[in-house]
Amino acid sequence: MENSARSQRTRAAAIQAALTIITRDGPGRLTIDAIARECGSSKGGILHHFRTKDAVLKALLEHQIEQGESLFDGYLAQSLPGRHEPALEAEIESLRTAAAHPKSTTFAIASALADNPELIAAVREREAKHVEAMKKEAADPSVAMVRWSAARGLALSSILGLCPLSEQERMSLFDLLRDDALWDSAQSCIRRRKEAAPQKEKQLL
Amino acid sequence: MENSARSQRTRAAAIQAALTIITRDGPGRLTIDAIARECGSSKGGILHHFRTKDAVLKALLEHQIEQGESLFDGYLAQSLPGRHEPALEAEIESLRTAAAHPKSTTFAIASALADNPELIAAVREREAKHVEAMKKEAADPSVAMVRWSAARGLALSSILGLCPLSEQERMSLFDLLRDDALWDSAQSCIRRRKEAAPQKEKQLL
DNA sequence: TTTTACAAACCGTCCAGATGGTTTGTAATT
DNA sequence: AATTACAAACCATCTGGACGGTTTGTAAAA
């Protein structure tokens, strides 16, 4: 086999093995030895691709980010032309999907990443771009941020195993958050009220 | 010194030391040796109080829960008699406070807990009670859940270092979420719309 | 004197990374 | 086409340190 192809294949296999381990055995069991065993490779082979264990984690995170991004892109592409806030809706749907995965790798990866704040920062910066897009398209950015935050809260709670709501409740809340027309009408009420009694948040968002 | 007092003191010192380590050095550095070193005790001494490391984590979690609970109780006690949804507001304020702590121990503890799902379940169950209370007092439970989820999203994002919003933006969003009157008026719009075009979430929440 | 609280030395295991070597692929030279 | 020279991928083994937990010792309290 061609060298580069071989290399790429084992690298992908290593990442897949890491994901398997992290979900099956928990993040505490993710060792280089375990990865090597899982993908039928050797420790040396793994360490040839990733010079340190942190490099493995970084690759894992990048893989996860790519997944999330393509999920988002898919939902964005699906959105009908008439929608007011396609990015927000795609984001909400992405979060709904993420929340649905109870044995989430995301949690495991997050916990494996706990000691690497710089990697987390990368995620946050990517998130900032999405937020920008959502604010830009929104009639009222602060309402968009509320909807986004709520979806995020549901997703993060579920991923961390902290969500006390049933799946049905979660689902219908996601439905509600997504319902553009509903928020449009609520928005006008809020706006009217804000103008009547101006609040701090008005000029900030 | 009296035995029991001495014991209690070292136990508290151990927990405090664990919190110091976990925030200063990261959860990966939380070892029994480190705790002993930090609080000027010995490994044997620590293991006299906590038979295993998991017991330390459990104690740490309980400590954190107590903190959170008393914070919530404080805000609840502060709430003025006229408010419609005191529990929700107290919860939102608690979450605001939690979010404000950037070097949060919560994150570190969460990640240290990653391999102990049963401990996480305890937190979730406690959360369920709060949710019940909030639903009970709410005119529209689904709106309350949206507000709560949004506050939770902001808090969790901040704690995990994933929140791309500025502190000001976060603060004003919390203000907005807390504004009972505003949501009341929005609620009536939503309700009107729901009745006009009934949705799935209506009967579920 | 028995129990409690702690200390110090120690044990077994796990694991990241280093090292030295083998196989496989590649490209230039003859 | 065959040979040579090199590079990349990969493997088996070792090591040094960290860490959870145990055992043994000790001094004070009960």
Return the pLDDT at A205.
Answer: 41
Q: Which of A121, A176, A189 sits opposite B201 (nearest CB)?
A: A176
B79 and B47: one domain?
A: no
Chain A: nearest CA to B130, how far in angstroms?
A: 10
Please check whether residue A10 lies inside any domain of the structure: no
Please check whether residue A41 lies inside any domain of the structure: no
Please check whether residue A164 lies inside any domain of the structure: yes
Name the domain count of chain B. 2
B101 and B200: one domain?
A: yes
- Here the tokens at position A179 are 């319902």
B123 and B86: one domain?
A: yes
Task: Please state, as a whole number, how many other Cβ atoms lie within 10 Å of the Cβ of residue A113.
Answer: 22
Are A61 and A111 in contact by the 8 Å Cβ rule? The answer is no
Most confident of A183-187, A191-195, B22-26, B88-92: B88-92
ipTM of the complex as predicted: 0.87
Please check whether residue A27 lies inside any domain of the structure: no
Chain B residues with CB-CB distance to A127 below 8 A: 162-164
Please check whether residue A101 lies inside any domain of the structure: yes
Ordered alpha helix ranges (H), B25-137: 32-38, 43-49, 53-78, 86-100, 105-112, 117-137
B186 and B95: one domain?
A: yes
Task: Please state, as a whole number, how many other Cβ atoms lie within 10 Å of the Cβ of residue B68.
Answer: 17
B19 and B114: one domain?
A: no
Q: What is the pLDDT of residues A135-168, one digit of tens each?
A: 999 999 999 999 999 999 999 999 988 999 999 9
Inter-chain contact A186–B182, Cβ cutoff 8 Å? no
**CA dist list (Å): A205 to A102, A131, A150, B57, B148:** 33, 11, 17, 40, 20
Chain A: nearest CA to B9, how far in angstroms?
A: 30
Return the pLDDT at B205.
Answer: 42
pLDDT tens for the 205 residues of chain A, in order: 577 777 888 999 999 999 999 888 888 899 999 999 999 999 999 999 999 999 999 999 999 999 999 999 999 999 988 899 999 999 999 999 999 987 677 877 777 777 788 888 889 999 999 999 999 999 999 999 999 999 999 999 999 889 999 999 999 999 999 998 889 888 777 666 665 554 444 434 4
Residue of A85, A9, A97, A76 whose CA lies nearest to A49: A9
B132 and B37: one domain?
A: no
B96 and B184: one domain?
A: yes
Return the pLDDT at A15.
Answer: 95
Please check whether residue A154 lies inside any domain of the structure: yes
Chain A residue with CA closest to B172: the answer is: A201
Distance B45 CA to C18 C1' (A): 37
Return the pLDDT at B116.
Answer: 80
Nucleotide lying nearest to B9, CA to C1' measure: C5
Q: How many CA atoms lie within 13 A of A10 on its CB side?
A: 20
Return the pLDDT at B193.
Answer: 62
Chain A residues with CB-CB distance to B184 below 8 A: none
Task: Please state, as a whole number, how many other Cβ atoms lie within 10 Å of the Cβ of residue B137.
Answer: 15
Q: Is B87 helix (H, G, I), strand (E, B) or coil?
A: helix
B81 and B133: one domain?
A: yes
The average pLDDT across B16-42 equals 94
Q: Is the CB of B3 under 7 A from strand D?
A: yes
Please check whether residue B56 lies inside any domain of the structure: no
Query: Structural domain of residue A174, as residue ranges?
Result: 75-204
B24 and B81: one domain?
A: no
The one-letter amino acid code at B117 reads P
Please check whether residue A49 lies inside any domain of the structure: no
Chain B residue with CA closest to A145: the answer is: B173
State how far the Cα of A14 lies from the Cα of A49, in Å rounded to an integer: 9
B88 and B151: one domain?
A: yes
Cβ of residue A54 closer than 8 Å to a chain B Cβ: no
